[in-house]
Amino acid sequence: MKTIDELLAEGVAGKRAFVRADLNVPLDGTAITDDGRIRAVLPTVKALAEAGARVVVASHLGRPKGAPDPAFTLAPAAVRLGELLGADVAFATDTVGESAQATVAALTDGQVAVVENLRFNAGETSKDDAERGAFADRLAALADVYVGDGFGAVHRKHASVYDLPARLPHYAGYLIATEVGVLKKLTDEVERPYVVALGGAKVSDKLAVIDQLLGKADRILIGGGMAYTFLKAKGYEIGKSLLQEDQVPAVQEYIERAEKTGVELVLPVDVLAATEFPDLKTKAPANPTTVAADAIPADRQGLDNGPETCKLYASKLADAATVFWNGPMGVFEHPDYAEGTKAVAQALVESKGFTVVGGGDSAAAVRTLGFDETAFGHISTGGGASLEYLEGKTLPGLAALED
């Protein structure tokens, strides 16, 4: 795929550059609680603006149902982008309508505009090729060239991600080029030992990637809510812990495969358990009990790795040459259940290997828990996209950038 450096070498002064970013930031009302995804696209936007392009930034935010919804406006993201750029950023109150057309027409060389949430138009996410294509045609009318830099959306076959690049000269932005380079280090150019830490709530979200990793990783650490389905598959008592009963047979098969292929599959040896899920708004003390992972009391649910598991996982990460981590180890949003996630993050910080935090809740946890982002080899902006790449799937947004 062609990169933004090639576009800059060709010259962009006076051209309208459509940047498909990922500004899907978490909001508390209108306040952005984590601007990591906005900062991730800054190098691309800055480079284009400084080269004299008229930059049109577009993104989705949340899951509006194909129509305008004030709760999902990109206005706060546009304001924050302007603050980070140190320049005024124009904002169009629609995606391809009168406001977008007028806003883009008013741009001068080096100026930046953000158009409203792409998902306010049903054509963006439509499964109908013609409907998506019609929306892509209208988006193409706003630009001369396309720069794909929304890695968090490249696994979606959406108009602005998949159909629009076919209608314009297209290039990969700095973020996508970096993300793809990192993922190749996790698939084609792996340095060993290769250790993977997987957490999160649902084991069903991770089965496909575990299937692939059983043939590639040397060691897989399992945590978070998904761990309890693994513990159940081994015949352990898990109390009221999160369980996907229908996934137990598949998990049993993976446990057997790991034993046969020599992949070390590491499960919790103790957990923090409580009778009730914690209050994440008040953060009231939860006072959990540490119990053995194979004997969780019937009236309790596991909500984080216990202290011995924290030590075990840190030791299993210590010698890694390559680490990929996706998914928190517990309910990290509550201080009483953050230690398991902190322990994994700290182990990555101390690692001498190449460490990758796989986006989503893992990236949010790193920031929420106060870790220095530069202490990690790479923090991905796309959890779902990263997992699908590791599963071996073709990602529509990356395929569209190929020539």
Our answer to whether residue 37 is catalytic in this structure is: yes
Q: How far is CA 191 from CA 32, 155, 180, 383, in A?
A: 37, 26, 17, 22
**What CA–CA distance (Å, rounded) separates 312 from 304?**
14
Please name the residue ranges forming H helices in 98-224.
Answer: 98-105, 129-140, 174-187, 207-213
Give the sign of the dihedral formed by CA 144, CA 150, CA 154, CA 156: negative
Cβ atoms of 23 and 61 within 8 Å: the answer is yes
Closest CA to 138 of 149, 151, 152, 122: 122
Question: Which helix (H) or strand (E) segment is 251 a member of?
Answer: helix 248-261
DSSP string, 305-355: E-HHHHHHHHHHHTT-SEEEEES-SS-TTSGGG-HHHHHHHHHHHH-SSEE
Catalytic choice (150, 223, 340, 360): 360
Cβ atoms of 221 and 266 within 8 Å: the answer is yes
Catalytic choice (37, 80, 156, 316): 37
Our answer to whether residue 384 is catalytic in this structure is: yes
Contacts 24+ apart (CB under 8 A), 210-213: 210/254, 211/254, 211/391, 212/390, 212/391, 212/392, 213/263, 213/390
Catalytic choice (202, 216, 257, 367): 202
Catalytic choice (150, 199, 384, 397): 384
Q: How far is CA 198 from CA 255, 298, 379, in A?
A: 15, 25, 15
Cβ atoms of 167 and 137 within 8 Å: the answer is yes
The backbone torsions φ and ψ at residue 222, rounded to the nearest 5 degrees and listed phi first, read -110, 130
Cβ atoms of 50 and 8 within 8 Å: the answer is no
Q: Which residues contact 282 (CB under 8 A, 6 or more apart)?
A: none
Annotated catalytic sites, by residue? 37, 202, 360, 384
